[in-house]
Structure 1
């Protein structure tokens, strides 16, 4: 699997590919998803990630796959973690005979 360079937060994708084309406000989208405006706003602003439950809600609302939302979140999280990789205190563990 190829690693993306600086992948967008899934909230950006949600806003640009789902909400904006349909002319949905945050309030209207939150109502449709059955979540609070605060919850959806946090995702859209990159302050919260997409949980498995939210991925299912998004898949139902926008006829997408839950897996695609979770994959986008995983790619974003992994990219963020790799930015901090040098700070990790890890020893290489290898088998010895």
Structure 2
């Protein structure tokens, strides 16, 4: 799988492509998802990750798949890790 260039945090997708078009507030969405407003706000603002449980909650509430949310999170996490590639202290393993 090719990595995206600077993929958006899944919270940004949830906020801009799911909640805003529906006209749903953070408080209303949090209640629908069965989570605290603070927990959802942290996700929407990129301060927390989509957990497997949150992915399932999102899949139910938004009629999507849990996999799609976990894949978006993984792409975002990998992109962040790749930004540190040149600073990692790793050497190539070779046969003895």
TM range (shorter): over 0.9
Work out the CA distance in 1 between the residues paired with 2:37 and 2:25: 10
C-alpha RMSD of matched pairs (Å): 0.7
- TM, length-normalised to structure 1: 0.96
Q: For residues 24 and 95 of structure 2, what CA distance do their matches in structure 1 show?
A: 56
TM-score, normalised to structure 2's length? 0.97
Give the whole-Å Cα distance in 1 for the aligned partners of 2:22 and 2:69. 18
Stretch moving more, 87-96 or 36-45: 87-96
**Number of the residue aligned with 2:3:** 3
* Structure 1 portions without partners, runs of 5+: none
- How much has 1:79 moved relative to structure 2? 0.2
Counterpart of 2:66 in structure 1 is 66
Q: Which consecutive aligned stretches of 4+ in structure 1 deviate over 4 angstroms post-superposition?
A: none
Deviations 1:11-69 (A, max 9, x none): 00001111011111000000000000000000000000100000000000000000000
Following superposition, the deviation at residue 7 of structure 1 comes to 0.2
Separation in 2, partners of 1:94, 1:62: 48
Paired residues, number: 96
2:22 is aligned with 1:22: yes
Q: SS where residue 93 of structure 2 aligns?
A: coil
Moved more, 15-24 or 66-75: 15-24
